Amino acid sequence: MTTIKKKRVIVQQSHVGLLYEDGVFRQILNPGKHKLRRGLFDRVQREVRFVDMRERTLTIKGQEILTADKVALRVSLLVYFRVKDPRAAEHNVASYEERIYEDVQLAARRFLAGRRLEAILGDRNEMSDAVREDVVGAAAGYGVEIVRAEVKDLVFPGNLREIMNQVLETERRAEAKLIQVRKDAEAQAVKSAADGAVQRERIALEREEAQARAQTEQQARALRLEAERREAEAIAQDPQLLRLRELHTLAEMARSGGKFAVGLDGRRLLGLLREDG
């Protein structure tokens, strides 16, 4: 608080002044130079309280708090705030900064007391949001806006830190193993897909080959049937061709070393001998 002995007062930018006359609040002085009326015999004592309207931070130092599962944690919070109503900030509480400190501390205790350690570690932002929501209404009552709250530090007992480090290391190893298993599974899937594609290609080739062989055999059979048909027609027109075919067959059998006997009746034999004579 500044006691005014002159007729002028200057309020700096980002601040406001609260003017009091004989201890009674009179008005808010905005940034700039202000002239105050004073008579010749004016004995009124005037004072000004300057209030910083900028956003500021307040550190809530490490508080040891028990969680719902009886684990002692030491928590430090960082609170961002600004004065919205300077009159309420100066008149409704003795010190708005001390009041913010107490309100945030109690809000953190209420939050942690209702949460287990696992849930707290799972989402630290939940704690920040919960503390702000818990305090914002009360702070508005003494002219302060809580912009946000952040968890600055979260300290565990020594033995708990060792256990947590072991858990984190186990989780990292398990995650690495899971990643490797996924890679192996993907590689196996690619290999199986490739093997399947090769197998399908082989089956398709075998099917095409079988179809080609069947088609070739069918065409050969048709050609044989056509040749036999033509041969039969030729024999029907000239019976001597049948005899030539028989002799050709006998000659082929003789060349291959086969033994055979040919039977002729007396009349045919006599005819052949006469032809030779």
Q: What is the pLDDT of residues 56-90, one digit of tens each?
A: 999 988 778 888 888 888 888 999 999 999 999 99
Most confident of 163-172, 221-230, 252-261: 221-230
pLDDT score, position 211: 86
Count how many residues are written for the chain: 277
Mean local confidence (pLDDT), 209-222:
83
Mean pLDDT of the chain: 81
User: 32-41, 123-132, 267-276 — which is least confidently predicted?
Assistant: 267-276
For residue 243, pLDDT beyond 70: no
pLDDT score, position 177: 85
Q: Do residues 135 and 103 lie in contact, with contact meaning Cβ atoms separated by under 8 Å? A: yes
Secondary structure letter of residue 12 according to DSSP: -
Please tell me which residue, 103 or 42, carries the higher pLDDT value.
103
Q: What are phi and psi of 110, to 5 degrees?
A: -65, -40
Mean local confidence (pLDDT), 210-230:
81
Q: Pairing between strand 46-52 and 32-35? A: unpaired
pLDDT score, position 250: 65
pLDDT score, position 235: 72
For residue 199, pLDDT beyond 80: yes
Please tell me which residue, 156 or 18, carries the higher pLDDT value.
18
For residue 258, what are the contacts with CB-CB under 8 A and spacing of at least 6?
none
User: 149-153, 193-197, 257-261, 268-272 — which is least confidently predicted?
Assistant: 268-272
For residue 197, pLDDT beyond 60: yes
Q: Write 181-186 long-range contacts (CB < 8 A, 24+).
A: none
- Give me the amino acid identity at 68: A
Q: pTM of the entire structure?
A: 0.55
What span, in angstroms and rounded, lies between the C-alpha atoms of 120 and 123? Answer: 6
pLDDT score, position 186: 83
pLDDT score, position 265: 53
Q: How many CA atoms lie within 13 Å of 52's alpha carbon, on the beta-carbon side?
A: 8
pLDDT score, position 260: 53
For residue 116, pLDDT beyond 90: no
Partner residues linked to 82 by β-bridges: 145
CA distance readout (Å), 23 to 13, 40, 49, 176: 25, 21, 11, 70
Mean local confidence (pLDDT), 230-258:
69
What span, in angstroms and rounded, lies between the C-alpha atoms of 147 and 62? Answer: 21
- Give me the amino acid identity at 224: R
Residue with tokens 């919960």: 130
- In Å, how far from its chain's centre is CA 206? 45
End-to-end Cα, the chain, rounded Å: 165
pLDDT score, position 118: 78
